[in-house]
Structure 1
Amino acid sequence: MKREYKLFIQDIKECIEQIDEFLGNMTLEEFKADEKTSSAVVRKIEIIGEATKNVPKEIRQKYKELPWSDMARMRDKIIHSYFIVDYEVVWKTIKERLPEIKPRIDTILKELENQTNKKK
């Protein structure tokens, strides 16, 4: 059975929230030095990228305000050849891009929920 696309959007939201939780008030230097946290954050970014790829094209077109292609390529941007992670890029992504994405994802989820409730 194919997974409903709304669940992939929910995955994106949860990953962003978990990244916020993992980081707390860490600095970039603390983040780079904490292998557990940095690995967990990179994994969540990978999940965001994969989840984005599973959102149907018509939904991505409907909500054009989100940088869907950038989100789908997040993993490729932060992990270079031979799995070398660029933590500066990761940090910039989580501090600049994710705060822009999260409220938009929240709005999409609310709209989808309202549509579902209207159909009932």
Structure 2
Amino acid sequence: MRRELLLLREMRDAASTIRDLVGQDTAEAIESDSVRRAALLWHFTVLGEAANQVPAETRDAHREIAWRGATRMRNRIVHGYWDVDIETLVATAADDLPAMITALERLIRDLDE
């Protein structure tokens, strides 16, 4: 359980950092800032890698969390980083990560008790 909590916290922290990195900026603004772009790619990679390592029983029991989506995004970044669509990452940060962060925080709290 300890490793599982570590992975879930890594996911939550990466998702929160992604939200902070994107803020209210456009994909174009992030694309033009190489440091922020690299940080965004890194944190999406961490998010997906941790999601992939969460035990299958936990993933199956909490289907409200986009485990496969996070893992697929990580794979796309790692294996095709030269052709990553920053607009998709920004949209994901705005549209999908707030609910994921909430679900992860709830799961962490439940497992930590």
Scaled by the length of structure 2, what TM-score is found? 0.87
Structure 1 residue aligned with 2:31: 32
Higher RCO by CA contacts (8 Å cutoff, separation 6 or greater): 2
Q: Once superposed, which parts of structure 1, at least 4 consecutive aligned residues long, lie more than 6 Å away?
A: none
Q: Is contact 1:78-1:86 (8 Å) kept? A: no
Q: Distance in 1 between matches of 2:22 and 2:81?
A: 25
Structure 1 residue aligned with 2:75: 76
Amino acid at match of 2:7: F
Scaled by the length of structure 1, what TM-score is found? 0.82
Amino acid at match of 2:94: K
Identity, % of aligned pairs? 27
Structure 1 residue aligned with 2:101: 102
Query: What displacement does 1:77 show?
Result: 4.1
Q: Distance in 2 between matches of 1:51 and 1:79?
A: 14
Question: How is 1:1-120 mapped onto 2 (pairs within 5 angstroms)?
Answer: 4-78=3-77, 81=80, 83-114=82-113
Give 3-state SS (helix, strand or coil) of 2:58's partner: helix
Query: What displacement does 1:101 show?
Result: 0.7
Unaligned runs of 5+ in 1: 115-120
Unaligned runs of 5+ in 2: none
Amino acid at match of 1:46: T
More displaced 10-residue stretch of structure 1: 15-24 or 98-107: 15-24
Number of residue equivalences: 112
Report the structure, 1 or 2, having the larger helix content.
Answer: 2
Alpha-carbon RMSD across the aligned residues, in angstroms, is 1.8
Is the radius of gyration larger for structure 1 or structure 2? 1
